[in-house]
Structure 1
Amino acid sequence: MQKLRYLPPNLITLFSLTLGLLAIHFALHGNPEEAAWFILYSVLLDKLDGALARYLNAQSDMGVQLDSFADFVAFGIAPGCLLYGELYNPQTGASFTSSFEWIHLTALVYIFGCVLRLARFNIVEEESLPGFFQGLPSTQAGGIIAGFVLVAHAHNIDMQGAMNPLGIMLVVVGFLMVSPIYVPKFGNTRTAFWKWFQISNVAIFYTLVGLREFPEYLLFIGVAYLFTGVYIGAQRSRELRKT
């Protein structure tokens, strides 16, 4: 009976993995907008499995590895597949055109960045800066890419013309995942502003994703958290070096 407590958090992780697989399915079948929403659904579940595992005292090595695999599918492979979805032609069945062959490399850069980020996270035993992630979290990276795609569709932007910005974003975000930047973990509330910023925007994020509304704000949250978090991380790192 004691082992049953491990079941709920692992089921949440498997559900997140399922959402990631569905996102890949939609992306590769010419429906990148639906795929982007499913990536954001996975973002909603990302912290729930870990929080529930801690609450039930059901943390395990298997849970950690399972969570990383689910994250790689939902926030690594699925966002990379969004690019293929945008190039997909439902009439001809073609998944790419000769004009954009080079852009496929940007998806690989992003996916490689994600898998390296997750692998490093699993083997690091001691945080170099307590309370902070080193490198952009894969969850946030996937959310930013999905948000960009949703905003483009919401404003009827020709995605053929947006391939260059999307490709550049994939490369930049991919490198940020393995970069030495520090981003505060959720709950790291050293200042009143950061506490307010986290709590209010998490509530807004869950509401808007649930309603599938205002992708502009969803993208803004991801980018604003990145820049604000990097600033706070750099500030904290400087403080520690002075002590």
Structure 2
Amino acid sequence: MKATKLKHLPNILTSCNMAIGILVICSMIHNDSLSDRKLACYLVYVAVVLDGFDGYFARYLNASSDMGKQLDSFADFVTFGIAPITIFISGLKFIPWYVMLILLLYSLAGGFRLARYNLQNHSEYFTGLPITASGFIMVTVLLIRSYLDREITGIFLILFLILTVILSILMVSKFPVKRIIKNKKGYK
């Protein structure tokens, strides 16, 4: 009976990941204070941990499923494809069209990356930069900036947009990225 209940753990962790992403997005819509942006970045870090554990436990408990794979991709898209962009936008007073275009391209690249992943066979390598790593990099840069400067400066805006373009290209690229976590039976 316990083993059957544990098989739901990966999807519960994935749902918590998605809930964090939704919470970050909703909170950034109504709160644009510096402390709120810092908290949002820390919440995305929690989601990174949950994302690592959901896949690990799915493999360890032999509870991998197509449903879990799709749910994980939706959660990752919300939490690592949209939430970091929302955190960034919440710090801007005015958003020029070209900034929105670059940020849109990031989310589209993340969606493409996740769709391609769902069609691949699992191996010891990912193809392209995982969206979780990309979202982690974005919120880390935003968090560091929040401790250094209260406002988003013009120079930071340009550097962040360049980073966004680079991460977008890396997500859709075809270079192999070695998996960090493997289970007792190897990679799945």
TM-score range (shorter-chain normalised) is 0.7 to 0.9
Pick from 84, 105, 124 the counterpart of residue 101 of structure 2: 105
Q: Relative to 1, partners in 2 of residues 1:6 and 1:48: Cα closer, same or farther, differing over 3 Å?
A: same
Instruction: Tell me the distance in 2 between the aligned counterparts of 1:183 and 1:19.
Output: 26
Listed as ranges, the matches of 1:116-195 within 5 Å are: 116-125=112-121, 130-156=123-149, 158-161=151-154, 162-187=156-181
Question: Which structure has more RCO (C-alpha within 8 Å, separation ≥ 6)?
Answer: 2
* Structure 2 counterpart SS, 1:186: coil
Alignment coverage as a number of residue pairs:
176
Q: RMSD of aligned C-alpha atoms?
A: 1.9
Task: Report SS of the residue matched to 2:44.
Answer: helix
Task: Tell me the residue number matched to 1:25.
Answer: 26
What SS does the aligned partner of 1:133 have?
strand
TM-score by length of 2: 0.85
Q: How far off its partner does 1:134 sit?
A: 1.1
Supply the distance in 2 between the matched residues of 1:101 and 1:6 (Cα, whole angstroms). Answer: 46
Distance 2:99 2:137 in 1: 18
- Helix, strand or coil at the partner of 1:59: coil
Cα distance in 2, alignment partners of residues 3 and 33 from structure 1: 38
TM-score by length of 1: 0.67
Q: Report the alpha carbon displacement of residue 157 of structure 1 after superposing the two structures with TM.
A: 5.6
Q: Secondary structure at the match of 1:87?
A: coil
2:10 is equivalent to residue 9 of structure 1: yes
Q: Which of the two has higher C-alpha Rg?
A: 1
Gaps of 5+ in 1: 89-95, 189-243
For structure 2, the 5+ residue unaligned runs are 183-188
Identity %: 36
Partner AA of 1:169 in structure 2: L
